Structure 1
Amino acid sequence: MRILDSHFHYWPKSFFETLCARESYPRAFRNEDGGYDYRRKEGAIGLLNLEPEWFDLDRELAYMDSLGHQVDVIGSIGPLSIHFSDVPPEQGIADARQWNEAMAAAQRSHAGRFWGTAAVPLTDTGAAIETLDHAIGELGLVGVNVPGSIGSDPHIDAERLEPFYARVAKLGVPMFIHPTDAIFHDMLEGYNGALHLTLGRVMEVSAAAMRLVFSGVLERHPSLKVIMSHTGGALPYQAGRIDKNGKRAGLPKPPSTYIKSMYTDTVSPHALGMKFAIEYYGIDHVMYGTDYPCWDPSAALGLLEELGLSQADKDKLFYGNAAKLFGLADPTTSAA
């Protein structure tokens, strides 16, 4: 079976070596496993303790080859997307440029198997647009990543960012929203990170997505392609409550109308969660994703088999939806 993993993480080692050389936070440290640890600030609880495979694309793709399918991947930044808006603007621009060029290099060296998506510094709207244009127009990346907050500022719906969202919509590239570790972290401390990882990230990304809904960003830019990670966070499961109380935002349509215009992935270690995401968003708006190396693709494939999908729905879920959304070549022309 031909598979396109829409939620996959490859992080360039060269970028982390740059972060290791810095004396101020955010920064990275080499760990005893041969990977890297990332810290937003001094004394922060380390939730980004990364094994070597995160930084070795050939090793990651070799594991994909072991699954018994032809698996191609779309790389997203994940929780590190906050970094580029968590540093001074000039540093954020330089770091985003370095990241995007590394993604473009990987896309060229693994053509037809890996596609990269862009980092942007949201602290400066003009810089975010320029960085986006360079990443998509010149480097050929296929999407853009937006964190759940701008550093510790949760207002990704800030009025000043309207031109950025308009530009993303005009370019027609997907905008991937992934939780980070800046919001709710202190509230949900303890238990070796278990409380934050299980609830904090879900809360953060759900609140971020609803800011785009309630602010009217999705109403004003109906062509904006938003990917809400992790089977939609809390949104599908609280849609009734959102419509009931979301009337206060004064939108011309029920909030769930905008939620259902989003896309999501199958990153949920729970067959019922996957099933409900498909039923809520519709099969055309759900894409296979594993969050690898955070989650084992073999486990994801096993859970999806439990759903008993038709072959037509499998074709959409496993390859067609993501290929269409990201504007990739037909698999019959790109197959190795």
Structure 2
Amino acid sequence: MKHAAYRKAVTPMIIDAHTHIWGGDYENSTRELLRACDLFGISKIHVSGLKSHYPDEAEVGQLNADVYRFMKEQPGMVEGYCYVSPAHANALDVLNRGIEQYGMNGMKLWVATFCDDPRVFPLVERCIDFNIPILIHSFHKAVDQLTYETTGVHVANLARRYPEAKLLMAHFGGNCYHGIRAVRGLRNVWHDFSGTPFRRDDVDYAVERVGADRIVFGSDMPITYLVNYGQVEEADLSQEDKDRIYYKNALELFDRSLKVG
């Protein structure tokens, strides 16, 4: 509890916009997330379910059901992303169910397709109707790039096509010097730095290029948390900028009454 007391003394709250339940490991995943929230004074987490890179329809349905269960068990603390595979014929139905029936407040895209694949477009248009953000896994790798793994270039293509869409590019694009450069100037793209290569100056670089008002705290929990927190604490930022990253930007991003711009 020492950590939680310290956190609350520094900033009013932390909202972690990028956490996971791992498919088939509901109890352990949720236990670890709740333990971290208690230990580190995290006020709210936004959760998606993940398992295999190229899931079938049944797997996607179960992952979303797990997130919905967690939301019901922890109201007020847990919010859910509706995970969809644009490669599935029922993707739009899955999204509608997640938002309208489950009460989720975002959509998650992983690695089933590039985010600028035409099959994604109807989903983005529906998210614009709902005015919800789209969390996009984005990772530029020197080796072992997955077949349909989105990079900042794909995010930029989607952002230009849909300037009214709220896009949250995860992981600083895997390499902030590649990902952020690709989307710089696109004001409908926000950024999280969950699970990034752990460079001390990533956050400083991002704030310099896109501004503190476009960076959202995310950790990739239950994989990691403290390193991402340390990146903010060690960055050369004002307390106001830190507060924007820790929670203020997320409050605005998920506010369905606020439009892009």
Whether TM exceeds 0.5 here: the answer is: yes
Find the aligned partners of 1:101 and 1:6 in 2 and give their Cα distance: 19
- Residue 133 of structure 1 pairs with residue 96 of structure 2: yes
Q: Which amino acid aligns with 2:54?
A: H
Find the aligned partners of 1:314 and 1:9 in 2 and give their Cα distance: 23
Shift of 1:106: 0.8
Where 2:150 maps in the other structure, the secondary structure is helix
TM-score (norm 1): 0.63
Tell me the residue number matched to 2:105: 142
Call closer, same or farther: CA 1:161–1:5 in 2, change over 3 Å. Answer: closer
- Residue 204 of structure 1 pairs with residue 149 of structure 2: yes
Find the aligned partners of 1:9 and 1:291 in 2 and give their Cα distance: 7
Contact 1:148–1:178 (8 Å) recurs in 2: yes
Shift of 1:283: 0.8
Deviations 1:177-210 (A, max 9, x none): 1158xx98xx94xxxxxxx4xxx37x9331xx42
CA RMSD of aligned residues (A): 3.1
**Aligned residue pair count:** 243
Where 1:162 maps in the other structure, the secondary structure is helix
Where 1:10 maps in the other structure, the secondary structure is strand
Tell me the residue number matched to 2:39: 66
Tell me the residue number matched to 2:3: none
Deviations 1:15-73 (A, max 9, x none): 52xxxxxxxxxxxxxxxxxx69xxxxxxxxxxxxxxx843xx13421233222x24421
Contact 2:105–2:132 (8 Å) recurs in 1: yes
Q: Which amino acid aligns with 1:58?
A: R
Call closer, same or farther: CA 1:323–1:234 in 2, change over 3 Å. Answer: same
Contact 1:9–1:77 (8 Å) recurs in 2: yes
Identical columns (%): 24
Q: Which amino acid aligns with 2:33?
A: E
Find the aligned partners of 1:3 and 1:149 in 2 and give their Cα distance: 30
Tell me the residue number matched to 2:219: 290
Q: Which amino acid aligns with 2:235?
A: L
Where 1:112 maps in the other structure, the secondary structure is coil
Deviations 1:132-178 (A, max 9, x none): 0110011101111112343xxxx543334422221122211111111
Q: Which amino acid aligns with 1:204?
A: E
Tell me the residue number matched to 1:118: 82
Contact 1:232–1:277 (8 Å) recurs in 2: no
Tell me the residue number matched to 1:304: 232
Find the aligned partners of 2:172 and 2:52 in 1 and give their Cα distance: 19
Higher-Rg structure is 1
Tell me the residue number matched to 1:264: 191
Where 1:257 maps in the other structure, the secondary structure is coil
Structure 1: give runs of 5+ residues left out of the alignment. 17-34, 37-51, 189-195, 243-254, 330-336
Q: Which amino acid aligns with 1:134?
A: R
Where 1:130 maps in the other structure, the secondary structure is helix
Q: Which amino acid aligns with 1:128?
A: A
Where 2:21 maps in the other structure, the secondary structure is coil
Find the aligned partners of 1:266 and 1:238 in 2 and give their Cα distance: 11
Find the aligned partners of 2:75 and 2:256 in 1 and give their Cα distance: 11
Tell me the residue number matched to 1:223: 164
Where 1:289 maps in the other structure, the secondary structure is coil
Find the aligned partners of 2:85 and 2:149 in 1 and give their Cα distance: 19
Where 2:201 maps in the other structure, the secondary structure is helix
Shift of 1:293: 2.1
Contact 2:20–2:222 (8 Å) recurs in 1: yes
Q: Which amino acid aligns with 1:233?
A: G
Call closer, same or farther: CA 1:59–1:175 in 2, change over 3 Å. Answer: same
Find the aligned partners of 1:172 and 1:319 in 2 and give their Cα distance: 19
TM-score (norm 2): 0.79
Deviations 1:282-311 (A, max 9, x none): 11110111112222x223223322114222
Q: Which amino acid aligns with 2:94?
A: T
